[in-house]
Structure 1
């Protein structure tokens, strides 16, 4: 049966139930930050290269040549040049919201545990035990750096886990290709991802087709396998209605390759900002509750046995 693209796709029952059971994790990518005016990976790489021009580290001829490379290579080379010239590459100056959007207030209102590959701090869900009408970013529990990756934190709704590091801790930021590969070779990172995708229902938000490589690498390193009896991984992704055939092909690809269930939505009316409406509607349906004590004991036993 063909799953026709809608502007507001319904929330799958598995996600609603996972929220009630304390097993929902929102995995947030750069597409969400772009809604508030932050750069894409390509935009961040371009900004880094432009800063090298401004500082006299490279000329415009070199800039044009480097811009032909993919963003990951651009960032890596920009980092190497900045170190060679003794000019720090400060990416944090580009990680500022430039306009308002409902995307983060609605994601934060769900109060689920969040994992993100973004460096910025727009994710700020209020912990359940301190829930109030007004969100306070200072109260958010953030974790970054390999040494701080703990599967137990996934059981604490409202926690934000920065998988690639966060802007307030520059040493934890994964920037170069070398950093990226070394990060995912870490046993602790692989164990964390394995626990995440095995025990929780995960919804990927803000990962477009251009970020497929990052997403696929994360899923591969986690060792996830498809489970025909339970749908645990979902990916929200925009399409034009005339891309129905492509959507159907990609649904099969994600399912067979990674056990990820693709949920497409039509972007014809609002383009990428349609995601704002989707998340607003979903947030009304999701009621996150703390995980049960039985589940906590079961997870602790498994963690202790793994050590």
Structure 2
């Protein structure tokens, strides 16, 4: 049975129809086509560490393995792995998320067909822009945190774009945001980017898909939102598995980030995420 369109907030539909809606695409949608989860990414980086010429001592490897068993310590593990690998890390990102990126799934294709004014993602892969070429038959405008002037221009003019907030595997030489230290640095050094994020979250309604409450990259972004406008601005919406949220957490997101949780059933490989987006397409594109 398709997701009941009556469960989709009318305010969300109105914002999309009026050109004020954007979508945040989290790592869950990349996992759906075979790319690694956060823990899976860290495990692949550990294997890379073990394969390089100058291996660390066994205590380092064991310490990292212990860290990745605790989601709250993913960022610490990521920092240590990135520091050790240095340029090998950049090469890994290009190979894993660009050169060997899998084909986009149906959920990516429907996202690019919907009339969102922008697609915001913390994923490094090329799934969204590849889906855009397949569905729209032309290249998408793709920006990173280095392109704040272009993002601001397109926001002002209402031109659609993709913003890869933590970096792009195709532009890995610009930098890849993996750790809390990375994120603090770009917000301190890239003032234009800081202004762009503030503008996005205070003037547009955003639908979050493909994320959970424990996603480190989403936590980094939400911490910025909270510090930027202290709960002001429009209401945002997050499609979250009902198995990963409880009423207290949902209320916390509402109070701290102006994000209203829309719970869904994760059975059948999260098919309700696709059905939810399909229902939006029926309502706003007909």
Name the TM tier (shorter chain). 0.7 to 0.9
Pick aligned residue for 1:270 from 268, 273, 279: 268
Partner of 2:63: 65
Question: What whole-Å deviation, never above 9, does each CA across 1:108-144 have from its counterpart, x for those lacking one?
Answer: 11042111111112113998xxxx98433x5111111
Pick aligned residue for 1:217 from 223, 235, 242: 223
* Aligned positions of 1:102-141 closer than 5 A: 102-112=106-116, 113-124=118-129, 134-136=135-137, 139-141=139-141
- The separation in 2 between residues aligned to 1:157 and 1:33, in whole angstroms, is 25
Give the SS at the match of 1:31.
helix
Question: What whole-Å deviation, never above 9, does each CA across 1:234-286 have from its counterpart, x for those lacking one?
Answer: 1110114xx8xx5322221111122111111122x325343223222223223
Partner of 1:254: 253
- The separation in 1 between residues aligned to 2:285 and 2:169, in whole angstroms, is 30
* Aligned positions of 1:148-167 closer than 5 A: 148=148, 150-154=151-155, 155-167=157-169
- The separation in 2 between residues aligned to 1:248 and 1:88, in whole angstroms, is 39
* Aligned positions of 1:201-216 closer than 5 A: 201-211=205-215, 213-216=219-222
Distance verdict in 2 for CA 1:37–1:175, change over 3 Å: same
Partner of 1:194: 198
After TM superposition, give the deviation of residue 7 of structure 1 in Å. Answer: 5.8
Query: TM-score, normalization: structure 2?
Result: 0.81
Distance verdict in 2 for CA 1:270–1:59, change over 3 Å: farther
Distance verdict in 2 for CA 1:166–1:87, change over 3 Å: closer
Give the SS at the match of 1:281.
helix
2:21 paired with 1:16: no
Question: What whole-Å deviation, never above 9, does each CA across 1:36-58 have from its counterpart, x for those lacking one?
Answer: 11112222122112111012423
Q: Which runs of 5+ in 2 are unaligned?
A: 68-72
The number of aligned residues is 268
| 2:237–2:260 contact (8 Å) kept in structure 1 | yes
After TM superposition, give the deviation of residue 208 of structure 1 in Å. Answer: 0.6
Larger radius of gyration: 1
Partner of 1:232: 235
Distance verdict in 2 for CA 1:280–1:60, change over 3 Å: farther
- The separation in 1 between residues aligned to 2:16 and 2:47, in whole angstroms, is 43
| 2:230–2:256 contact (8 Å) kept in structure 1 | no
| 1:44–1:94 contact (8 Å) kept in structure 2 | no
After TM superposition, give the deviation of residue 59 of structure 1 in Å. Answer: 5.6
| 1:237–1:263 contact (8 Å) kept in structure 2 | yes
Give the SS at the match of 1:36.
coil
- The separation in 2 between residues aligned to 1:12 and 1:275, in whole angstroms, is 15
Partner of 2:70: none
Give the SS at the match of 1:68.
helix
Q: Which runs of 5+ in 1 are unaligned?
A: 1-5, 289-307
Partner of 2:180: 177
- The separation in 2 between residues aligned to 1:82 and 1:75, in whole angstroms, is 11
| 1:146–1:189 contact (8 Å) kept in structure 2 | yes
Q: Aligned Cα RMSD in Å? A: 2.9
2:40 paired with 1:38: no
